[in-house]
Structure 1
Amino acid sequence: MSKEITAQQAAGLIRDGAVVSVSSSSGLGCPDLVLAAIGERFAREGHPRAITTLHPIAAGDMYGIKGIDHLARPGLLKRTLCGSYPSGPSSAEPPLIWQMIGANEVAAYNVPSGILFDMHREAAAKRPGVLTKVGLDTFVDPRHGGCAMNAAAAEPIVRRVEFDGEEWLYFRAIVPDVAIIRATTADERGNLTYEHEGAYLGALDQALAARNNGGVVIAQVKRIVQSGTLKPQDVRVPGVLVDHVVVAPEQLQTTQTPYDPAISGEIFRPLSSFSTPAMSVQKVIARRVAMELADGMAVNIGFGISANVPRILLEEGQHGKVTWVIEQGAVGGVPLLDFKFGCASNAEAIMPSPQQFTYFQAGGFDATLLSFLQIDRDGSVNVSRLSARPHVTAGAGGFVDITARARKIVFSGLFKAGAKLALMEDGIRVEQEGKVNKIVDKVEQISFSGRRAVAQGQDVTYVTERCVMKLVPDGLLVTELAPGIDLQRDVLSQADIPLRLADTLKTMPAALYREAPMGLRLGGGDHG
């Protein structure tokens, strides 16, 4: 018997006060039709009321897939725990969820994505919760806010505890009453395959958490086929875990992308089909970041300038020497940009996100390339909060999980916000200084703890267009200076804190600033 129901019928299954877990990464894998139906039911009936939602990575965006914004209605949404939230340009009106957060109309928490997946796993196994060191001395730590995003988030969700003589963070497991997941195909028995999806995300873990605790699992798919026609090795979520199936033939593969078979690994694109970055200050920074890599490394990348580093390696003829690993699950290939960020073409494998985060949390990979909004005197980094423009930042996502034990971290960004910069053939010049310092005494929110990094012996580098800095036990050390940059005028006087200088201050290579490939060659390195 088919498990197919309408989106409206699925919305009718959500009771008042329910805990609802949603599988999505922004637009990637978002069950948007079901979420829209829940919002529409509330508008008609005033139900469901006071629900809690769990979004381990994110749900929706500002570019066509509303996701959590369908639920962002006072009275409907009481509490939400998200890895990240929809974000967009500062010129745009904030998403509805950000308006609710700012007005304290919802208790909002920003929980690292990996920890949220861990909480589902513990709930599925009926264990009490998660013991982790991920997030110590960051905004996740109760000493620095305990993940709370506003005053409405007054109920603590994390505690510091001592176990076996060590300090840990403890997150109590949250049991979902409903899991809303997504796939490409369901058969009549509810078995799910993912042949057109760009990632598996955490659908299986979320379904298990609901099913094992007597909850309901709703799957949104493009199509339903006859029972017995799906190959068992292709089924990622078995039908015994799925109660209901909603068909959404027009569901987008990811943001502004109806379907691209290269994203789902059904075809491989020629390397010549990938664009490489035009010459810019950001490309200069990405090139210098690429110089930190070595042949054979497994490297994670985040959104921002560092997302262009795989294209730098393509341009330099070094593609394949580094294996890229991203939190949505892709291993290898070419990570994609802009609206398709989080997907990869030509991937070697796609892992479920919870297992990818296990890999990250334990530092099993070699390096991560990430962005920064602010850096402070301890080397701590903020990527997750700008109070003046909150909706421009999405939250931390997997950033805290990834940096917790990463052996090598390369942060990249502009040294100062708003500066007018001129590229020259042999360097860079500051034509008009920016107004917002990014090297500050204390970051607005600790997304990455420099103190903890020093204690753990992590290798941390900060690459900007003006200089390169390293984290050392007594703070930030300038090790390289860009040609054309005046050390005192453009660097030291533009930081809110004293910067130390290496005994031998190197000059960043002139090849970084030229249109032609820079001749990068990745040698061997000390990596696992």
Structure 2
Amino acid sequence: MNKIVSAKEAISSIRDGHTVASVGVIGWVVPDMVLNALGERFESTAAPRDLTFYFPCGTGDAVGIRGMDHVAKEGLMKRIVSGSYINPVNPATGERPALMRLIQENRVEAYSWPIGASMHWLREVARKSPGYITRIGLDTYADPKNGGGKFTERCKDDLVQRIALNGEDVLFYPTWPLDVAIIRASSADEFGNLSFEDEPLVSAGLALALAAKASNGKVIAQVRRVLKRGERLATEARLPGVFVDQIVVDQTMMMSTDTPYDASYLHSRNVGTSRMPTIPFGPDKVIARRAALEVRKHELSIFGFGAAADVPLVMQESGAFDPVHAPNDYWFTTEHGSYGGVVMNGWQFSANMHPDALIDGLSQFDVIDGGLCEFAALAFAEYDAAGTVNVSKFGKSNPGAGGFIDIAHNAKRLVFTGTFTTGGLEVNFENGEMRIVKEGKISKFVSTAQSITYSVADGVRRGQTAKIITERAVFDALPEGLVLSEIAPGVDLKKDILDLMAFQPHAIADPLPLMDAALFVPETKECVTQTSGGARQEIEDSPLL
């Protein structure tokens, strides 16, 4: 039996009403050729119709690697369930992704689940259990009492239930079958045994395949090359060929966005194939420098997408990762299973450069939900008077939570990073001081957040510690409210902080310490006027930066 087929042949058996699931993490491990073929089939034949798409994580960047944007077509897509959504502005066209337009115009049923749930749910499908049960996400936007993760008015079905179990409220995600799983690997032999030697992430690939096969469904694997059976060790094959129905070969598939291939994402040693990026001096770098002071040696630390991902890069630039004297002092990871090395930002987020080890996505959320990542740095879009932080839905952005809820719920120490305001913020730095040249249009400190991603106040009551770090102020979160604990030199307390908050801090430290002046000194020692976000606004264009 020859399993090697074209992408067009692979998707030809998908029928009206099927549920199609795919792996992918931004640009990483995206089976883009197969997803593109499905979108092209619909364009040319108007079939298949009314599909449900299941993406455990945001798949593709909607720019260079389009991913789920290939299938974001009204009529083809009836429903989408995803752990995160991508919302960049295309730098060439200025347009938002097609999927985001469908969501904003209420032309598709769109559900957003925390990635911990979207990953672990697959295990329950694979073992044919009634569903996934978790405490994580209670009282957040994923909780039915706050919308149940529904992102459009078209969503009528309750895919998440709040139930009582042994006298305790929990969230229950009922299972349903997957008809097709589209996954990606590096190599396959003729029988379909898959290996991932060129992929710095495995994500949900293995789990998707097992869930589909348990559902009597089909598994399509996109690979870069085909090997002869027996050409490699059995220990190198991560998914047995008995679980793979068809193989699509794409010899030119990208490793990730803007990265055809880079061995630095596969080797712990410096293989000299790329240079570490640097963060331009400005508000983002100031925030990252201050947040870096909270990072401890020999503590497993996890970093989220957005401003928080700058922290390891400024530490790298400062020489914190001395490969001779301190090769293993800092233990870094992300929600996607890359361990060691340096967490990257922007489109390269998710896979670490120079990692020590990799685990799959479901195992990584076992680590996260088990509380093994004791320190977490996460971005924030809004923080409100009730101690709620929001990154999931604000303005025209609907990114969902990603791994945020699981990470925030289970870490012992939390740091939330981001600029104080967004939308045109410009600041001036001189002699270790900061001045606001042009204030951002939107303050992130609001009376009521637009979406409940996580209750910091509840977490602190459970024993967590939390800080909110901006370019001009640092706050400590207490159950009673925020305490303003540091202020940037050169900033006016009333005009630049208190007047811009929709609520007032519970307390202000007296005396109020200044943030270290060294945080505000550019490398060139000259007066610099900078805006927040810069070129990265092309990626997110959101208050997360």
Structure-1 separation of matches of 2:177 and 2:484: 48
SS of residue paired to 2:39:
helix
The equivalent residue for 2:368 is 360
Alignment of 1:432 with 2:434, yes or no, is no
TM-score with structure 1 setting the length = 0.94
Question: Which one of 387, 399, 404 corresponds to residue 399 of structure 1?
Answer: 404
Q: Which moved more, 1:468-477 or 1:85-94?
A: 85-94
The equivalent residue for 2:285 is 283
The equivalent residue for 2:33 is 33
Q: What is the correspondence of 1:295-310 to structure 2 with a 5 Å cutoff?
A: 295-310=297-312
1:356 Cα deviation after fit: 0.6
Deviation by residue 1:376-433 (Cα, 9 ceiling, x = unmatched): 012211112123x32xx53221111211221111001111123321112222111233
Is the Cα contact below 8 Å between 2:268 and 2:356 reproduced in 1? Answer: no
Structure-2 separation of matches of 1:201 and 1:373: 26
Structure-2 separation of matches of 1:203 and 1:272: 27
The equivalent residue for 2:518 is 511
Q: What is the correspondence of 1:50-65 to structure 2 with a 5 Å cutoff?
A: 50-65=50-65
Structure-2 separation of matches of 1:272 and 1:188: 34
1:98 Cα deviation after fit: 1.3
SS of residue paired to 1:170:
strand
Deviation by residue 1:175-196 (Cα, 9 ceiling, x = unmatched): 2111100001000010001111
Q: What is the letter of the counterpart of residue 487 of structure 2?
A: L
Structure 1: segments with no counterpart, 5+ residues? 519-528
Task: Give the direction of change, closer, same or farther, for the CA distance of 1:256–1:384 in structure 2 (3 Å limit).
Answer: same
Q: What is the letter of the counterpart of residue 507 of structure 1?
A: L
Is the Cα contact below 8 Å between 2:62 and 2:69 reproduced in 1? Answer: no
Task: Count residues with an aligned counterpart.
Answer: 515
SS of residue paired to 1:209:
helix
1:454 Cα deviation after fit: 2.7
The equivalent residue for 2:536 is none
The equivalent residue for 1:118 is 120
Alignment of 1:259 with 2:266, yes or no, is no
Is the Cα contact below 8 Å between 1:119 and 1:174 reproduced in 2? Answer: no
Is the Cα contact below 8 Å between 2:264 and 2:272 reproduced in 1? Answer: no
The equivalent residue for 1:194 is 196
Q: Percent identity?
A: 37
Task: Give the direction of change, closer, same or farther, for the CA distance of 1:504–1:136 in structure 2 (3 Å limit).
Answer: farther
Structure-2 separation of matches of 1:87 and 1:221: 27
The equivalent residue for 2:537 is none
Q: What is the letter of the counterpart of residue 167 of structure 1?
A: D
Structure-2 separation of matches of 1:89 and 1:460: 32
Q: What is the letter of the counterpart of residue 521 of structure 2?
A: R
Structure-1 separation of matches of 2:89 and 2:21: 27
Q: What is the letter of the counterpart of residue 380 of structure 2?
A: F
Is the Cα contact below 8 Å between 2:192 and 2:241 reproduced in 1? Answer: yes
Q: What is the letter of the counterpart of residue 11 of structure 1?
A: I
Deviation by residue 1:282-323 (Cα, 9 ceiling, x = unmatched): 111111000111111111111222212112222332224221
Structure-2 separation of matches of 1:3 and 1:434: 55
Q: What is the correspondence of 1:417-456 to structure 2 with a 5 Å cutoff?
A: 417=422, 418-456=424-462
Q: What is the letter of the counterpart of residue 154 of structure 1?
A: K
Q: Which moved more, 1:177-186 or 1:67-76?
A: 67-76
Question: Which one of 294, 299, 316 corresponds to residue 296 of structure 2?
Answer: 294
Q: What is the correspondence of 1:104-115 to structure 2 with a 5 Å cutoff?
A: 104-115=106-117
Q: What is the correspondence of 1:355-504 to structure 2 with a 5 Å cutoff?
A: 355-387=363-395, 389-390=396-397, 394-417=399-422, 418-499=424-505, 500-504=507-511
Structure-1 separation of matches of 2:476 and 2:145: 27
1:138 Cα deviation after fit: 1.1
Structure-2 separation of matches of 1:415 and 1:167: 35
Is the Cα contact below 8 Å between 2:219 and 2:246 reproduced in 1? Answer: yes
Structure-1 separation of matches of 2:523 and 2:261: 34
1:273 Cα deviation after fit: 3.7
Q: What is the correspondence of 1:145-184 to structure 2 with a 5 Å cutoff?
A: 145-184=147-186
Is the Cα contact below 8 Å between 2:35 and 2:68 reproduced in 1? Answer: yes
The equivalent residue for 2:528 is none
SS of residue paired to 2:509:
strand
Deviation by residue 1:78-134 (Cα, 9 ceiling, x = unmatched): 111011122213982121111211222210011111101111100100100111011
Question: Which one of 333, 345, 349 corresponds to residue 353 of structure 2?
Answer: 345
Deviation by residue 1:41-70 (Cα, 9 ceiling, x = unmatched): 112222211111110011111321111111
The equivalent residue for 1:526 is none
Structure 2: segments with no counterpart, 5+ residues? 322-327, 526-545
Structure-1 separation of matches of 2:140 and 2:299: 27
SS of residue paired to 2:208:
helix
Task: Give the direction of change, closer, same or farther, for the CA distance of 1:429–1:477 in structure 2 (3 Å limit).
Answer: same
Is the Cα contact below 8 Å between 1:120 and 1:175 reproduced in 2? Answer: no
Task: Give the direction of change, closer, same or farther, for the CA distance of 1:479–1:517 in structure 2 (3 Å limit).
Answer: farther
TM-score with structure 2 setting the length = 0.91
Task: Give the direction of change, closer, same or farther, for the CA distance of 1:233–1:406 in structure 2 (3 Å limit).
Answer: same
1:267 Cα deviation after fit: 6.1
Structure-1 separation of matches of 2:268 and 2:385: 48
Structure-2 separation of matches of 1:374 and 1:164: 35
Structure-2 separation of matches of 1:190 and 1:138: 41
Structure-2 separation of matches of 1:209 and 1:450: 34
Is the Cα contact below 8 Å between 1:315 and 1:517 reproduced in 2? Answer: no
Deviation by residue 1:340-362 (Cα, 9 ceiling, x = unmatched): 22111210101101111111122
SS of residue paired to 2:57:
coil
SS of residue paired to 1:160:
strand
Q: Which moved more, 1:506-515 or 1:30-39?
A: 506-515
Q: Which moved more, 1:268-277 or 1:288-297?
A: 268-277
Task: Give the direction of change, closer, same or farther, for the CA distance of 1:275–1:98 in structure 2 (3 Å limit).
Answer: closer
1:270 Cα deviation after fit: 5.8
1:367 Cα deviation after fit: 0.8
